[in-house]
Amino acid sequence: MSRKTLTRRQFVAATAMSSAALISAPYVRGAYAAGKLSIGFWDHWVPGANKASTDLVNEWAAKEKVEVSIDYITSNNKKIELTAAAEAQAKSGHDILQMPSWWPQAYSENLEPLNDVMEPLLKQNGEVNGTVKYLGQSGGKWLAVPATPGSQIKGPCSRIDLMKKHAGIDVQEMYPAGGAPKVENWTMETFLKAAEACHKAGVPFGIGLGETTDSVDTAGAIFQSFGAELVNAKGDITVKTDQVRQAMEFYKKLIAFLPPDAPSWDDASNNKWLISGRGAMILNPPSAWAVAKRDAPQVAEQCWTHGFPSGPKGRFAPYLPYFWGVWSFGKNKEAAKSLLVHLSAPSSIEKFVAVSGGYDLPAYANMNKFKTWEEEGPPKGTLYHYPDPHKHQTLSIAASPAPPKIAQQIYFQATLTKMALRFARGETMDQALAWAEGECEGFMRS
């Protein structure tokens, strides 16, 4: 009879191997066989809108057997930017992080390429506009997937009554609900005349001249409509051009008709301006209208969201897409990609749009005709033109087409609003341009 004896050495080795196997394979277990996934989503302004994300994620997690945890991170005081910076430095954090417009480019080295996710999505949902490509792609590599929640156009939201009474403009006729826009006369000149008339009537346009995104986005669209670029796509400084001078002259005239404290406005100021009934127009997504519906219904029922006026070089509307990025150091990248496909399915996108009351804008060409925008009110049809269903304007971001890492600095240092304000406050054109040129030279650091 032969009996195999277990030596002390064999026993220790066997125990160590089984312990190591147990520790290194914690995810292989019944209910959550496909592991864990940690997600950082933007905390939505619209009450209840986060629920759509939670439901969609849970629905996917149950199907895929993944244990998920979601953190909703507010964009107030740049919490998302701080989170992204900290996670990129620590090389640890969420598997998926929702990022505002410029961040995929800023952290391009730390993001997992998502071409395998984007290519089928583009076939399924339609193409994305140039701004999404500019912000989300680098050297043919998709850095992140455009997110529907949070993505927005900051077009004009006008008071129907005040614009008709003081500026003689019927915004509903110009942008009829359910119909194509009739905008031959909706130009920067008309816009300026309307701003003057409303200023004289004591209900000036509420356009900020501060350093936060709303102010910068407006300046960006106006500059672009004059063809004014501070830095061109090649990275050359092009501040001292006729186009920039024209845009500056226009802005100086416009500033004279804006509220005197517009230079101190933040992103909440224009909303309050509209809701308080003190202004005839703001340039903002429909969040101000949504709050007015609750707090000042008499104001909300006079609001109409529509397209931007056109300048000599075209009609540009400020567009701010959000993105979902997957960190290259993430632990469950395959699961992350699978979730992003689920969140970008047409049914998911429709749900995001519906729950946000039309605030969220999908980036894809085939996704801009949902019923929500037709039906939302009062007044009914107020959001019909918000997603630009007739594609009559170029959706753009301020400081583009400069290389994104330079443009990001022009954007966040609010160079456009500052140079316009300097000129309006008494500096000569040459002084203001020289200042802006100096700033842009500083942004060339690599």
Unique residue bearing structure tokens 């409303």: 198
Q: In the range 67-96, which residues lie near another protein by CB under 8 A? A: 77-78, 81-82, 85, 89
The first and second tokens of residue 334, run together, are 């395959």
* Least distance from another protein to the Cβ atom of residue 90, Å: 12
Q: How far is the CB of 210 from another protein (least distance, A)?
A: 5
- Smallest distance from another protein to CB 446, Å: 6
Phi then psi dihedrals of residue 47, to 5 deg: -60, 135
Per rule CB under 8 A, is residue 437 in the interface with another protein?
no
Binds another protein by CB under 8 A, chosen from 38, 98, 305, 409: 409
**Residues 273/289, Cβ–Cβ less than 8 Å:** no
Nearer to another protein, 72 or 412 (CB): 412
Does 106 bind another protein (CB under 8 A)? Our answer is yes
435 belongs to the binding site for another protein (CB under 8 A): yes
User: What residues numbered 414-433 form the site for another protein, per CB under 8 A?
Assistant: 414, 418, 421-422, 425
Tokens at 22, concatenated? 């147990």
- Cβ of residue 169: shortest distance to another protein, in angstroms? 24
Alpha carbon 211 to chain centroid, angstroms: 16
Inter-CA distances, 97 with 84, 242, 280, 340, Å? 8, 41, 38, 11
Instruction: Give the shortest CB-209-to-another protein separation in angstroms.
Output: 8
Phi, psi of 247 (to 5 degrees): -65, -40
- Asked if 269 touches another protein (CB under 8 A), the answer is yes
Q: Which two tokens stand for residue 324?
A: 């979902």
Provide, rounded to whole angstroms, the least separation between the CB of residue 212 and another protein: 6
Q: Which is nearer to another protein, 32 or 435 (CB)?
A: 435
Residue 45: Cβ within 10 Å count: 18
**309: its two tokens:** 């006026």
Would you say 279 or 362 has its CB closer to another protein? 279
SS3 string, 70-107, reads EEEECCHHHHHHHHHHHHHHHCCCCCEEEECCCHHHHC
Distance CA 185, CA 310 (A): 9
Q: Does 209 bind another protein (CB under 8 A)?
A: yes
| One residue of 30, 139, 140, 260 binding another protein per CB under 8 A | 260
Nearer Cβ to another protein (385/418): 418
Q: 297-336: which residues touch another protein (CB under 8 A)?
A: none
**Interface residue with another protein, options 130, 296, 405, 437 (CB under 8 A):** 405
Q: Which residue has the tokens 């990022």?
A: 99
Residue 442 binding another protein, by CB under 8 A: yes
User: Distance between CA 106 and CA 99 in Å, rounded?
Assistant: 10
Of 185 and 276, which CB lies nearer to another protein in the complex structure? 276
Q: By CB under 8 A, name the one of 272, 313, 342, 390 that touches another protein.
A: 272
Tell me the C-alpha to C-alpha distance, in Å, between residue 165 and each of 21, 133, 158, 197, 380. Answer: 76, 41, 12, 10, 21
Task: Pick the binder of another protein from 10, 69, 264, 328 (CB under 8 A).
Answer: 264
Distance of CA 357 to the CA centre of its chain: 16
Q: Cβ closer to another protein: 207 or 317?
A: 207
Q: Which residues contact 194 (CB under 8 A, 6 or more apart)?
A: 163, 166, 167, 169, 205, 280, 281
Q: 188, 243 in Cβ contact below 8 A?
A: no
Question: Toward another protein, which CB reaches closer, 19 or 328?
Answer: 328
What is the SS3 assignment for 317? Answer: strand
For residue 202, state whether it binds another protein (rule: CB under 8 A).
no
Contacts with another protein, residue ranges (CB under 8 A): 77-78, 81-82, 85, 89, 102, 106-107, 109, 209-212, 259-266, 269, 272-273, 276, 278, 405, 408-409, 412-414, 418, 421-422, 425, 435, 438-439, 442, 445-446
